[in-house]
Amino acid sequence: MNLTSSEATTYLESLVPLLDGLSDRQLFVLLPFPSLWVARRFLAATSIDWGAQDVHPDDAGAHTGDVSAPMLADLGCRWVEVGHHERRRDHGETDELIRAKVDAIQRWGMLALVCVGEDRRLPFDEVTAALDRQLALLPTADQSRFAIAYEPAWAIGVGSRPASPSWVRRVHAAIRALLVAGNPEASNVPIIYGGSVGPRTAVAFLAEPGVDGLFVGRQALDPAVFAAIAHTPIRT
C-alpha cells in the first residue's frame, strides 16, 4: 500500500530511464489500483509490464469496493498477484479463493502470479507439506499463464533477513516437483523468490538453479535500488 498516483508518476519518471535497454529479461511493476492508469501512461511504450496486487474472482456484481479482472485487463495489466501473505493474514484468504482468482485472471488473458510460502521458520518437510496444500488446486490451471512467487513470511518486512540461497534452491526444487507431480506441463512455470531481496543478495539468488527471477518488495520503492537489482546478471 504505497505510491499515490502523484507519487507513482514521480517514481516511474525516474525508473523508466534507469531500465532502458534491458531487453533480455522480463520486468514488471505491480502498483495499487488507483495508480494503474499511471503505469499504463508511462510503461505502454516500454518493455516493462504492469499489473495489480489483487483481484476479485467475479467479473462483476454486488461487490462494492472490489476490483474485477476485466477492469484490470482494460487498464492493460499483464500480471495480477494473488495469495500474498498479507492478503491471507489480513483478509483470511483461502487457497480455494486464490484458485478462483487465478481462474478470473486467466479468463481475461492475464498472467497470475501466485504467492506461496510458510508463516514462520519450519523444518523443510513441514514447509514442503504447507506448500503442497497451497499448490494443490493449481495443476488444472493454464500452465502457460501463471508463475509462482516463493515468499516466506518470516523473510519479508522491515527488519527481516532473506532466506539463504541454499534454502531457496531447495524450496524451489520442491515447488517444481510438486507442480510437475500434479501436471507434467508445469515444468516451465516460472518460480521466483521474494523476501528481503536487495542488490547485494540478488546475484546469489539468481545464481541458484531453479530460481527463475526475483520478486522485490520494499527495496523496489527506491527507483535506483530497483534498477540496480534489475541489472543483476542473469545465470546462463
**Active-site annotation, residues:** 84, 151
Q: Please, which contacts does 196-205 make with residues 24 or more away whose CB atoms are closer than 8 Å? A: 196/155, 196/156, 196/160, 196/161, 196/162, 197/162, 197/229, 198/162, 198/225, 198/229, 199/225, 199/228, 199/229, 199/232, 201/162, 201/165, 202/229, 202/232, 203/232, 203/233, 204/165, 205/162, 205/165, 205/168
Distance, in Å, from the CA atom of 51 to the CA atom of 53, rounded to the nearest integer, reads 7
φ and ψ at residue 24, rounded to 5 degrees: -100, 15
C-alpha cell at 84: 500474498
For the chain, the 3-state helix, strand and coil shares in percent, each to the nearest 5, are: 45, 10, 40
Nearest one of 165, 160, 158 to 214, comparing CA atoms: 165
Give residue for cell 503442497: 132
Distance, in Å, from the CA atom of 190 to the CA atom of 144, rounded to the nearest integer, reads 9
